[in-house]
Amino acid sequence: MELEGSLNAIGYGLAAIGPGIGVGLIFGMGVQAIARQPEARGILQGQMIFGFAVVEALAILGFVLAFVL
């Protein structure tokens, strides 16, 4: 019985909760900031996209490491 592969998948599933919450916070706070200061939209959008990219990179790294190790 291959239990190690199942545990890796469960571990990644639990680890994916963090990036999911992070993406929600990034875009939620970004929309709130744009609603408060619409003139700063360009700067805030760039920061939101950069934050999203960093969080997703960490999620993909976790996915790869879950099945490599």
**Residue range 6-49, pLDDT digits in tens:** 777 787 888 888 889 999 999 999 999 999 999 999 999 999 99
More confident residue, 67 or 27: 27
Range 8-68 has CATH code 3.30.565.10: no
Residue 9 has a pLDDT of 77
Residue 30 has a pLDDT of 95
Each as own residue / partner, the long-range contacts of residues 9-18 (CB below 8 Å, 24 or more positions apart, any chain) are 9/66, 11/66, 12/62, 12/63, 12/66, 12/67, 15/59, 15/62, 15/66, 16/59, 16/62, 16/63
pTM: 0.76
Query: Domain spans of the chain?
Result: 8-68
More confident residue, 38 or 59: 38
